[in-house]
Amino acid sequence: MQIRQITLLTAAVVSSAPAHASSVPATTPAQAAALVRDVTMDFFDGQTHHYEYFALDGTSTARDSAGRLEKGRWFARPDATVCFMHTDPHQSGCVHVARDAGTISFHRIDGLVEGPFAWEPGNPHGL
């Protein structure tokens, strides 16, 4: 396993293992957008808790337990991938998104899966 980042302030565990069986990536742009729109992702990297909210208007806001706040954008592409754009290009990219009742994961085009991460509907942390 290797640690890397996909979105601002959100450390992701990268593995080649498939996501949960019920967690199948979206196949249309509308499905892809629906998986992240108005959702907050929650991740703990062992030291810091991270939250990232994907707003209805395509903006994203991330905050960690150390108080760092970052802004970005997200959008769905015609190939049903979701792109996350941030000021740091290493934290930006397009992935297929899969979500089930309690987790969200990001399927990279190289076959690796980032996540799963816990998610909540809406913006419960006021981001």
Confidence of residue 23 (pLDDT cuts 50, 70, 90): low
What percentage of the chain reaches a pLDDT higher than 90? 54
Tens of pLDDT along 106-116?
999 899 999 99
- Inform me whether the pLDDT recorded for 17 exceeds 70: no
Extract the tokens encoding 67. Answer: 């108080």
Tens of pLDDT along 59-117?
999 998 888 889 999 999 999 999 999 887 877 899 999 999 899 999 998 999 999 99
Architecture (CATH level 2) of domain 2-121: Beta Barrel (2.40)
Please report, for residues 28, 37, 83, 99, the alpha-carbon distance to residue 122 in angstroms, rounded to integers and kept in the order given: 22, 9, 19, 15
Mean pLDDT over all residues of the chain?
82
- Inform me whether the pLDDT recorded for 11 exceeds 80: no
Place of tokens 């703990």: 44
Element holding 91 (H helix, E strand): none
Residue type, 102: G
pLDDT reported for residue 52:
94
pLDDT reported for residue 25:
79
